[in-house]
């Protein structure tokens, strides 16, 4: 996703909930520090958001979630996140980064620091997460020393910590076999355009498998709903196209 698409998702989220600030939890939070990050590292089509003031309103964002009219119109969507879902190092809130200015309709986005984001991905340890963390290391976006320091401040048990430590060590051992794509300097610069990598193909294959599982689950849920017509539907309120941002250019 491009930053302008993240901006659009925030604008729509603000229209729906009335909230003026969200934390961007997932991979799109990389736009906070690197708004021009290369497309192939951010191949997901969702923006993971948490409302910071009225957290219960986060669930209202399901109306611009997966398979919604918003998703069908633009090709990307918002994934409302429970604040307890991501596993993050202590102090992560103090390291949040403002999303650079854009067309958000005055809605503010707070992004995870790339190292906090990486720890959350290591903790989740899904196949796509480990592809992502490996790419962060390969591009020089994350530092092994910094990750290991934050890992010690992450609320997980010892065995889990050791597994993550092993993953971090392996990622950076691999990254040392190729020339780093991003060399830190006194003035932070966006990652340099990538060297050849199969990351995009890997993530596309993972996403295709995940989507197939999702669609199978949705078919089963629809079948169950048809069999039980009195089942309560989950709607927050009636929304029109202007709420969804469909009448706006992304």
Q: What is the pLDDT of residue 228?
A: 52
The first and second tokens of residue 104, run together, are 């958000």
Q: What is the pLDDT of residue 242?
A: 45
- Alpha-carbon span 144 to 120, nearest angstrom: 15
When computed from its CA atoms, the radius of gyration of the chain, rounded to whole angstroms, is 19
* Predicted TM-score of the model (pTM): 0.74
- In a structure prediction context, what are the per-residue pLDDT tens digits for the chain, which is 250 residues long? 999 999 999 999 999 999 999 999 999 999 999 998 887 788 889 999 999 999 999 999 999 999 999 999 999 999 999 877 789 999 999 999 999 999 999 999 999 999 999 999 999 999 999 999 999 999 999 999 999 999 999 999 999 999 999 999 999 998 776 554 444 544 555 444 344 445 445 544 544 445 555 556 555 655 555 555 444 333 333 344 444 444 444 5
**Inter-residue contact 123 to 168 (CB < 8 Å):** no
Q: Phi then psi for 199, rounded to 5 degrees?
A: -60, -45
Contacts of 165 (CB under 8 A, 6+ apart): 148, 151
Tell me whether residue 207 is exposed, middle or buried, using C-beta atoms within 10 angstroms of its C-beta: 0 to 12, 13 to 18, 19 or more: middle
Q: What is the pLDDT of residue 20?
A: 97
């Amino acid at each position: 996703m491009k930053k302008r698409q993240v901006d659009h998702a925030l604008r729509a989220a603000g229209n729906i909930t009335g909230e003026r600030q969200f934390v961007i939890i997932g991979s799109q939070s990389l736009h906070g520090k690197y708004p021009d990050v290369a497309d192939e590292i951010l191949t997901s089509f969702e923006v993971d958001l948490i409302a910071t003031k009225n957290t219960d309103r986060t669930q209202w964002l399901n109306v611009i979630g997966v398979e919604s009219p918003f998703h069908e119109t633009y090709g990307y969507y918002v994934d409302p996140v429970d604040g307890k879902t991501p596993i993050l190092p202590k102090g992560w809130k103090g390291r949040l980064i403002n999303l650079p200015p854009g067309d958000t309709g005055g809605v503010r986005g707070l992004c995870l620091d790339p190292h906090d984001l990486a720890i959350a991905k290591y903790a989740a340890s899904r196949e796509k997460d480990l592809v992502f963390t490996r790419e962060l290391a390969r591009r020089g976006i994350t530092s092994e020393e910094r990750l290991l320091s934050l890992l010690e401040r992450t609320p997980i048990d010892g065995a889990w910590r050791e597994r993550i430590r092993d993953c971090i060590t392996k990622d950076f051992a691999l990254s040392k076999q190729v020339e780093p794509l991003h060399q830190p300097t006194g003035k932070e610069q966006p990652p340099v355009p990538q060297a050849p990598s199969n990351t995009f193909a890997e993530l596309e294959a993972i996403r295709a498998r995940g989507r197939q599982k999702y669609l199978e689950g949705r078919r089963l849920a629809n079948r169950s709903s048809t069999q039980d017509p009195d089942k309560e539907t989950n709607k927050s309120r009636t929304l029109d196209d202007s709420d969804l941002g469909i009448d706006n250019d992304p």
